[in-house]
Chain A
Amino acid sequence: MRSDNGHPRAPRWLRIMAYGGLLFLHFPIVMIMLNAFNADPGGSAFPPTGLTLHWFSEALAREDVLQAIGLSVRVAAMATGLALVLGLITAAALYRRQFWGKEALSLMLILPIALPGIITGIALLSAFKLMGAEPGFWTIVIGHATFCVVMVYNNVIARFRRLPHSLVEASMDLGGDGWMTLRKVVLPQLATALLAGGMLAFALSFDELIVTTFTAGHERTLPIWLLNQLSRPRDAPITNVVAMLVMLVTAIPILLAHYLTRNTAASSGSGK
């Protein structure tokens, strides 16, 4: 462990273990990508008998797949919208002032992702039942928005903390009023944080399964469609294509969000 010039070199066994770990983490993802192009009608034979784009056209012609995609996109968009509003408001309330119950409120924001999904799921479901609400689109959205808020909140509050309050005061001194300051000074500063938080929220909602299985009623989001395919294996090639699409829709926003917030300490952060 010498560090005379630059930084120390890793022992070979450690380097092998680290790269081996990366390989392990990416192996299943590569297999999904590969299988989506697998010409074998069984869908998963290894090594693939050939490569084809045929299953893509077949998958995208399937009514049930399209409906599931449509529902997932609508749910994720609505949940992201709600999370953006709630997350922004909450971050604005919590970033500067100290008040009684502040810690409790910030704990409450994390709780939906810290507690196992079954707890959030069954709690919401039984509350909907008590209120006589029929599970469907809106119950899914409420469930998703609940754990998406923290994604927006984390990003926005980190940006708020870096935003000097003197900027707001300067704007007021120069004759801007509260509304104008918000529109022309604060919101532009927060824009990329909101965008990053929104993308994380969208990805999280698009992929969420456990809470959704409780609150969805008869509706089928894309992850639920996939789960159904897995419990009753059929149409493996189409399942492979959908799996790859889900992966891309989740991964691309995450990468963009990471790119947008890469200079902030608290970027993507904690778990699902």
Chain B
Amino acid sequence: MSATATANAAVPSGLTRRLANLLYRRPNVYLLMLLIPPLLWFGVVYLGSLFALLGQSFYTFDDFSMTVSHDLTLANYQALLVAANGDVLLRTITMAVMVTLAASLIGFPIAYYMARYCRGWEKGLFYVAVMLPMWASYIVKVYAWTVILSKEGVLFWIIQHLGLTGVMDSLLATPGLGGNTLATSHLGRFLVFTYIWLPFMILPIQAALERVPQSLLQASADLGARPIQTFRTVLLPLAFPGVVAGSIFTFSLTLGDYIIPQLVGPSGLFLGSMVYTMQGSIGNIPLAAAFTVVPIVLIGLYLMLAKRLGAFDAL
């Protein structure tokens, strides 16, 4: 090693050049040097913050002095089971499940059409047309819906001109769906959630369907299966990992969102809004931290299940 080092020194070259050559000959040192910055950033800054947060979920929050003390307690986790907090969790999880179901029902035909029937320019069109709304600004999309759903908005205008005001009113009167107007109804909130995460469902399903070999479908048809049978017994099982992959996004993103519940739909806290108010106006970081453990655990379990279903290969 020292021989090469002196040989290099003889060549008229800068320090950086010698360093670069040294590193090429010592791949382990090179690798270690490369790994230091990402490990510091993700291992220390990011994971460190996550673990610090987890640790704080065991701290005690004093309701009277509004301060956090370092006495360890499980009270924050017990508080999650209190009726009011349990309601928040239940409401959020129900919404996440409903949104996931709706997105897969709406998304599947689109993905199916993209994967099986689109060729050439139409394929490019569909891909860009699904990707663009997925990446378009989140807050702007939510804003667009608050305008669309408002009383002067375009949706009411269309409903009025179609003469469907009566249908709309009875829909809004339905408990569990309704509210005063579309903009303040559960239905409106559900619609916005489904809209916002829909592209996250379409693309993984499309990717999974693309990978189904055409020959399998032909074989199924040759063996006498009707199209619907081929769909049910061949295509759907093979596409299912894609649906699960998409559902990871729709489920996880709905679970953590607090902007949509704040801007669309009736009052009633969501998990995300709970975390936000707890840490913000009240300063109860321990309870907020305990709340964040719920999505972490749920998504952890979900990811494990998804992995067993082969969803990661469909991502």
Cα A63 to Cα B81 in complex, Å, equals 47
Given contacts A112-B46, A246-B140, contact A126 B289 (CB under 8 A): yes
Instruction: Give chain B's interface secondary structure class.
Output: helix
B133 partner residues in chain A, CB cutoff 8 A? 25-26, 29
B310 at the interface (CB under 8 A from A): no
Counting chain A CB atoms within 10 Å of each CB, which of B126, B137, B157, B249 scores highest?
Answer: B137
B145 at the interface (CB under 8 A from A): yes
| 0/1 interface trace, chain B 37-74, chain A, CB 8 Å (1 if under) | 11101110111111011001000000000000000000
A80 at the interface (CB under 8 A from B): no
Contact A227 B117 (CB under 8 A): no
Select which of A89, A115, A178, A182 is within 8 A of B295 by beta carbon: A115
B170 at the interface (CB under 8 A from A): no
Select which of A108, A118, A271 is within 8 A of B47 by beta carbon: A108
B282 at the interface (CB under 8 A from A): no
Chain A contact residues (Cβ within 8 angstroms of B): what range?
35 or more
A223 at the interface (CB under 8 A from B): yes
Contact B315 A118 (CB under 8 A): no
> A86: shortest Cβ distance to chain B, in Å?
6
A116 at the interface (CB under 8 A from B): yes
Number of A-B contacts (CB under 8 A): 269
| 0/1 interface trace, chain A 30-42, chain B, CB 8 Å (1 if under) | 0110010000001
Contact B50 A227 (CB under 8 A): no
| 0/1 interface trace, chain B 157-181, chain A, CB 8 Å (1 if under) | 1000000000000000000000000
Cα A97 to Cα B35 in complex, Å, equals 12
Given contacts A116-B272, A146-B41, contact A93 B31 (CB under 8 A): yes
> B245: shortest Cβ distance to chain A, in Å?
10
Select which of A172, A207, A271 is within 8 A of B200 by beta carbon: A271
B23 at the interface (CB under 8 A from A): yes
Cα A124 to Cα B52 in complex, Å, equals 9
Select which of B56, B136, B144, B295 is within 8 A of A31 by beta carbon: B144
> A1: shortest Cβ distance to chain B, in Å?
5
Counting chain B CB atoms within 10 Å of each CB, which of A26, A97, A209, A230 scores highest?
Answer: A230
B199 at the interface (CB under 8 A from A): yes
B150 partner residues in chain A, CB cutoff 8 A? 44
Stretch at the interface among A4-12, A51-59, A156-164, A188-196: A4-12
B221 at the interface (CB under 8 A from A): yes
Cα A145 to Cα B112 in complex, Å, equals 36
Cα A10 to Cα B111 in complex, Å, equals 13
A45 partner residues in chain B, CB cutoff 8 A? 152
Contact A105 B42 (CB under 8 A): yes
Given contacts A31-B154, A42-B152, A251-B136, contact A126 B52 (CB under 8 A): yes
Cα A45 to Cα B147 in complex, Å, equals 9
Contact A142 B45 (CB under 8 A): yes
Report the 8 A-B pairs with minimum CB-CB distance, sorted nearest first: A116-B256, A178-B20, A28-B144, A18-B113, A179-B20, A127-B49, A93-B34, A10-B117
Complex A-B: 30 CB contacts under 8 Å: A1-B221, A1-B230, A18-B110, A21-B109, A22-B130, A25-B133, A28-B195, A46-B153, A89-B34, A93-B35, A112-B46, A114-B248, A116-B255, A119-B53, A120-B46, A122-B53, A123-B46, A126-B49, A126-B52, A127-B45, A209-B139, A213-B276, A230-B146, A243-B144, A247-B136, A251-B136, A254-B131, A254-B132, A270-B315, A272-B253
Residues of chain B touching chain A, judged by Cβ–Cβ distance below 8 Å, are 13, 16-17, 19-21, 23-24, 27, 31, 34-35, 37-39, 41-43, 45-50, 52-53, 56, 106-107, 109-110, 112-114, 116-117, 119, 126, 128-148, 150, 152-154, 157, 195, 198-200, 202, 214, 217-218, 221, 227, 230, 248-249, 252-253, 255-259, 262-263, 272, 275-276, 279, 285, 288-289, 292, 295-296, 299, 303, 315
